[in-house]
């Protein structure tokens, strides 16, 4: 807790420098603006609201639950042409095709996942699984991700996520496929299944748990309050979850996200995403080395207005963090599970 050291991340095959004493230094850098507290429940100018008109002229239905549509400005399209042949190995290009969708969690703009009911969160999980199945039938990778808050690049105050399906394995998926495959080959057990068992026993980095899931600040965490959401049994893909596991997933997500909001009493920003076994052509292959998991990467470090910047040493050498994962986990673990906005009600 007091002396710098490096920790190995077996999932990414890299290292993070832990310098816990640096969190004591005074901060005179950039201060962020807290997210607005007065978001209107419905705004006709908000393109994600029911009945609103989007940039392409389409009008959203008066949806009452989840709502999925094709991204109006997709990064991937299904009919992109093949790139030209390369005349040198240092100038390679490859085809990149896919589909990008947006999924609204709820019709109200003033809600976020931790303020939604368990039934509403469960509906989001079911919609995630349906999209993973639908897009995974033909695409190699389906990336479900949520950017929450303006600090993480979200331009719209409405509860939503994105789902990008690609004809190729992105860098992170390719890396995790290699490391998990090597671990099972060498040790005979999926890496993250073994890791979850170890963390459940040690408990020093445990944040919340239930019968089917646990959330930890990983031993190799990079972001200050980064967490890893893991199932207790071997599950390869989101769509493989049982009914009871989906219910308990809704519960543990709500508990974690309430703790996040309670940490600095603010709608906590983060980027999160699900990683599971590849799909499409990989559905016919043995992907037993994969274990389903979700990453949460929040940027806040000291308060609602002070964030962690990944610059300088982090960009040019390796990742570095300013408090130990154990310290972060203890702080999150000790927070109440009643949302700060509902304490007086």
> What pLDDT score was predicted for residue 30?
63
343 is in an annotated binding site: no
22 is in an annotated binding site: yes
Q: What percent of the chain has pLDDT over 90?
A: 85
Greater pLDDT, 236 or 310: 236
Q: How many CA atoms lie within 13 A of 283 on its CB side?
A: 16
**In angstroms, what CA-CA distances link 140 with 136, 203, 285?**
7, 35, 12
Q: What is the pLDDT of residues 230-247, one digit of tens each?
A: 999 999 999 999 999 999
Q: What is the pLDDT of residues 126-155, one digit of tens each?
A: 999 999 999 999 999 999 999 998 888 787
9 bridge partner residues: 14
| Average pLDDT, rounded, for the chain | 94
Taken as a whole, the chain contains a residue count of 345
> What pLDDT score was predicted for residue 23?
60
Geometric angle at alpha carbon 50, from 44 and 53, rounded to 5°: 55
Domain extent listing, the chain: 37-80+94-170+183-336
Question: What gap in Å lies between CA 215 and CA 233, rounded to an integer?
Answer: 14
- Does pLDDT of 161 surpass 70? yes
Is-contact 32 336, C-beta < 8 A? no
Q: What is the pLDDT of residues 31-44, one digit of tens each?
A: 677 777 788 999 99
Question: What gap in Å lies between CA 237 and CA 247, rounded to an integer?
Answer: 16
- Does pLDDT of 62 surpass 60? yes
Please state the rounded mean pLDDT for residues 265-280. Answer: 96
Superfamily of domain 37-80+94-170+183-336: HIT-like (3.30.428.10)
155 is in an annotated binding site: yes
From its phi and psi, is residue 2 left (phi > 0), alpha (psi between -120 and 50) or beta? alpha
308 is in an annotated binding site: yes
318 is in an annotated binding site: no
Question: What gap in Å lies between CA 61 and CA 67, rounded to an integer?
Answer: 9
Please state the rounded mean pLDDT for residues 273-296. Answer: 98
82 is in an annotated binding site: no
Give me the active site residues, please: 160
Task: Give the residue among 286, 298, 282, 297 at the shortest CA–CA distance from 142.
Answer: 282
Q: Give the other-Cβ count within 10 Å of 171's Cβ.
A: 8
Helix residue ranges, H only, 265-311: none
> What pLDDT score was predicted for residue 28?
53
Give the residue carrying structure tokens 């906005």: 341
77 falls in which pLDDT band (50, 70, 90)?
A: very high
Is-contact 216 229, C-beta < 8 A? no
- Does pLDDT of 276 surpass 90? yes
């Amino acid at each position: 807790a007091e002396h710098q050291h490096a920790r190995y991340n077996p999932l990414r095959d890299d290292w993070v420098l832990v310098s816990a004493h640096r969190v004591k230094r005074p901060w005179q850098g950039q201060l962020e603006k807290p997210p607005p507290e007065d978001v209107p429940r419905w705004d006709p100018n908000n393109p994600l609201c029911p009945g609103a008109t989007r940039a392409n002229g389409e009008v959203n239905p008066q949806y009452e639950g989840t709502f999925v549509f094709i991204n109006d400005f997709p990064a991937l399209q299904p009919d992109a042409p093949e790139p030209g042949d390369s005349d040198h190995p240092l100038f390679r290009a490859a085809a990149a095709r896919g589909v990008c969708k947006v999924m609204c969690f709820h019709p109200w703009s003033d809600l976020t996942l931790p303020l939604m009911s368990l039934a509403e969160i469960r509906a989001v999980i079911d919609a995630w699984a349906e999209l993973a199945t639908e897009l995974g039938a033909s695409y190699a990778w389906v990336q479900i991700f949520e950017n929450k808050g303006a600090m993480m690049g979200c331009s719209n105050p409405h509860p939503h996520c994105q789902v990008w399906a690609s004809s190729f394995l992105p860098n992170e998926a390719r890396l995790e496929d290699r490391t998990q495959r090597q671990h099972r080959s060498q040790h005979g057990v999926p890496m993250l299944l073994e890791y979850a068992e170890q963390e459940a026993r040690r408990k020093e980095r445990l944040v919340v748990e239930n019968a089917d899931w646990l959330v930890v600040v990983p031993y190799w965490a990079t972001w200050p309050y980064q967490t890893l959401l893991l199932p207790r049994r071997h599950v390869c893909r989101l769509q493989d979850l049982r009914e009871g596991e989906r219910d308990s997933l809704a519960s543990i997500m709500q508990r974690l996200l309430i703790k996040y909001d309670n940490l600095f009493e603010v709608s906590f920003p983060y980027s999160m995403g699900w990683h599971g076994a590849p799909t499409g052509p990989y559905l016919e292959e043995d992907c037993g080395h994969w274990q389903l998991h979700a990453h949460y990467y929040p940027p806040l470090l000291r308060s609602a207005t002070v964030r962690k910047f990944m610059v300088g040493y982090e960009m040019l050498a390796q990742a570095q963090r300013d408090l130990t994962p154990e310290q972060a986990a203890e702080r999150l673990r000790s927070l109440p599970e009643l949302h700060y906005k509902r304490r007086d009600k």
